[in-house]
Structures are given as C-alpha cells and as structure tokens.
A and B are shown apart, each in its own frame.
Chain A
Amino acid sequence: MVNDAGQLYTMEGVAAGVIMLLTAYIVISTTSVYTPGDTHIPDMQLEQLGSDVLAMMDTPDNREEEESRLVVLVKGGVPGGDTLRTEFLNNCKMRAGGDDDDLRAQVYLTYRKMNGDVSTIQLSSSDPGFTGRENTVRVTRWVHLPRGSTYGLDNLDSSRPHAVLVEVLLWRA
C-alpha cells in the first residue's frame, strides 16, 4: 500500500535544509555589509600621512632657515599652489620600492582679509578628475605668515604677520 505519510520526512528534511541555508546566506550577506566600517582605517592612514607631510614641509631643514618650504610656497599664492601640491604629493607618494602613485590632492588656503572677513581660496588649480564624490580626507596646518609681500593673496594686510590655515583634500584615485 502507498502511504503518503512517508513524504513528510522528505518534506521536513528539505524545509530544515532550506531554513539553514537561507540563514547562512543572510548571515554572510549582512556581515559583509558591516565590513565597510573598515574604510575608516584607510582614512586614518591617509589623514596621518597628510598631516605628517604638511608638518614636515613646515619644518625648516636648517636652524638658519627663516622660513619653511611651506611658508615660501604659501607666500607664492595661487601660482605657488601647484608647486605646493606637487611637492606635497611627492612626499606622500614616497615609499620603499615604487611610488604610491594614485594619490591626488587639492590645496586650499584660509586667511583673514583686511576687513576681518575669513576667506578661503583654492591655491592649486582644479584637478580634472575630481568629481566631489571621492572619499577624501582633509588635513590642515597652521602656517605663520611673516610680514611682507605675498603674491596672489587678495586683500591681505602685509604690514602684520598672519596665522593662515592651509587645507589639503587628499584622496586616492
């Protein structure tokens, strides 16, 4: 006699298997959603690298040197900005065995104008590959701009020293 009760065991086996496999699939897919939390680590590495480079560019190589390389380049204003970016990136790319070539940067400068307003200008020319959606980090450095003439910094009172903020957006292309 054909007893269809036998079907039940097979059906339940299939049901249990489907439940377990589905769970495993869901679990694996959810944990992989959480891993982008790791992107904070590359950010942290990039930020550390950027602030190291700015700090080192702001350190004179000799005691006799009055102005650090960073101050010289900031005084050069907008034309100096591209040189600043190139030198900044050269320092960032340096590593043992082959340069780390896919780094990009954009340099901004914030200073106070003669009338006291805070003004931010772009020092380096725009990067054609920059869309604004990149995962960028921002590193900054206070620069002590001594008295005297600067180039291309609009409305800056050159009769007094300034504290200006160099900001660099750094990202991986």
Chain B
Amino acid sequence: MACMNEDGQWIVLMGLLTALALFFLALIINQSALVGQTTAEGVLEFPKNDIRDLRLAIFDYYDDYGELTLLQQQHYVDDIVRISLERKNAVVYFWDGPQQDVSGRMLRPVTIHYYNGVTKYDETVYY
C-alpha cells in the first residue's frame, strides 16, 4: 500500500496560499462595493428634498399668516406637525418671533426644527 511519502505536501500548501490570497482580494472588492452603496444611501438618507419642501410649506403658511384667525393658524400648524409625524416619521416644529426691520423690509424670524430619527435640522430664517 501507499508509503507515507510527504514530499508533495507543498503543492497543497501552494493551493491553500492562493485560496487565501483570493479571499483577501474578495474582501477588498466587497469593501469597495460598500463605498458605492453608501454614496447612494447617503443621498437617499439625507432628506434634502424633504427639508426644502418643508421650508416652502412653512413659508406658504407665513404668506397667509396675517389673514388667518388664531384658530386657523393653530390648525395650519397642526396640519404640518401632525402629517409630518404620521406620514414622514419626522418631528417638526416651528415658531416665529416679532417682526424686525431687516434692510428695509419687515421680516419675522422663523425657527424651524426637523428631526426624522437620522437627520436633525435646525434653522432660523428671516421671512
């Protein structure tokens, strides 16, 4: 029967080494695939369009502000806050301060807070 000649073991060792090298290569490739994934995810996750849209909605409210009764103002604010929470899973609140003279125009400071669990956004804008 076979005598235990182990001279050939190094061939198997070479095979193992190549296999190991391949695994490392695969690891690197997987990492780079992850980079592309996070780029797209970053774009998807950062709610740029949502925040921009929310600001416009709030500005629309302040366009109408003067002609609304107190109750209607409260309703409108509730529209934005409650629908944001329910449909966009975002905590939104905003309030305004007294009107100020900003380079000749009467503007009110509007503070906006937005938080959707991942991204937090705070801003005070004169409108």
A/B touching: CB–CB < 8 A: yes
Closest to A43 in B: B44
Q: A44-B40, A140-B87 are in contact. Are A7 and B2 (CB under 8 A)?
A: yes
| A interface, over-half SS | helix
Say yes or no: is A93 at the interface (Cβ < 8 Å to chain B). no
Query: Using Cβ atoms and an 8 Å threshold, which residues of chain B touch A40?
Result: 37, 40-41, 44
Q: Is the CB of B53 within 8 A of A55?
A: yes
Contact code string B22-37 (vs A, CB < 8 Å = 1, else 0): 1101100110011011
Cα–Cα distance between A164 and B75 once the two chains are bound (Å): 12
Q: Is the CB of A16 within 8 A of B11?
A: yes
Q: A12-B8, A55-B53 are in contact. Are A110 and B15 (CB under 8 A)?
A: no
Cα–Cα distance between A158 and B34 once the two chains are bound (Å): 50
Say yes or no: is A62 at the interface (Cβ < 8 Å to chain B). no
| B interface, over-half SS | helix
Size range of the chain B interface in the assembly = 35 or more
Contact of A12 among B9, B22, B25, B33 (CB under 8 A): B9
Query: Using Cβ atoms and an 8 Å threshold, which residues of chain B touch A48?
Result: 43, 49
Contact code string A55-72 (vs B, CB < 8 Å = 1, else 0): 100000000000000000
Q: Is the CB of B82 within 8 A of A118?
A: yes
Say yes or no: is B118 at the interface (Cβ < 8 Å to chain A). no
Contact of A163 among B8, B26, B29, B83 (CB under 8 A): B83
Q: Is the CB of A4 within 8 A of B78?
A: no
Closest to A22 in B: B19
Query: Using Cβ atoms and an 8 Å threshold, which residues of chain B touch A9?
Result: 7-8, 11
Q: Is the CB of B78 within 8 A of A112?
A: yes
Contact of B37 among A11, A38, A47 (CB under 8 A): A38
Q: A9-B11, A43-B40, A142-B57 are in contact. Are A112 and B79 (CB under 8 A)?
A: yes
B: which residues have CB within 8 A of A? 1-3, 5-9, 11-12, 14-16, 18-19, 22-23, 25-26, 29-30, 33-34, 36-37, 40-41, 43-44, 49-50, 53-54, 56-57, 60-61, 64, 68, 72, 75-76, 78-80, 82-83, 86-88
By Cβ-Cβ distance, the 6 closest A-B pairs, closest first, are A16-B15, A142-B57, A37-B37, A23-B19, A40-B40, A144-B60
